[in-house]
Structure 1
């Protein structure tokens, strides 16, 4: 049975504790581990704007009433004229592989398209992250191509895959 999925604002200390875990537990975020991060930065950001900035932010992924992870968005600008958002997702291990990720990412796209004039939302992933590639396609994204040597990870420069969903692309049924 599919768990009901919803996105919600960050709201309490338990949410902040989850974010802190992603900062200090290397295995929790998988391939996206970039080294230890300032775990106290989570509380500072929450105090600043509740993780709901105009140009970037995070929402909690709620699955069946349980905190499953978070989605994020960051604004970018092509050629100084074309605004877009880049999105990401991090799910706790117990919630991976259950069909939550693609639904959460599709919901985030719907949210961003409804509240901003952007034409494009993009997402990058690792070449070896087959599950996320499938998730992005289910969420209505199309593969644009390989971004060569875009990420320094685990002692080497690595390629990534870039996906996008345009406002005019059909939205999947969530």
Structure 2
């Protein structure tokens, strides 16, 4: 792996796996076993480095286009969102939190996140038909994102303190449980 690739992989690890959002270029360089001048040589700034690595993650985990899922039922859309987010978060547990909390990446959210906002009309119908206990689509979506995105951070915490193993059946059960919490 060349120096540029090594810096990018270490930056992904430090920011999106370890969750050290405010790591400096010096700290990223130290984690990579090099001097920070290498980061400045290849990327000039941390913002530029972050934009590049998020672009790579978007290519690695492209969210489905709305046209590809709009004909599905709300339940199936939720399942697809949970599955998509689970795969992304297994590799990068802090990525969603990073994008949400860091203003410098606000434009990436739409490309990386599942097209949840497009579901608001359907969620509104679900609310009117009393197929959910929620009474507000925004609350529905924010709770959903919090539950799904925050899972891997908390699971990592508990996994380090126990012998819990997360199997594929566990993830399937988890998806069904979440859907049942949101839809009647």
TM normalised by structure 1 equals 0.25
Structure with greater helix share of residues: 2
Q: Which has the higher contact order (CA 8 A, sep 6+)?
A: 2
Larger Cα-atom Rg: 2
Structure with greater strand share of residues: 1
TM normalised by structure 2 equals 0.24
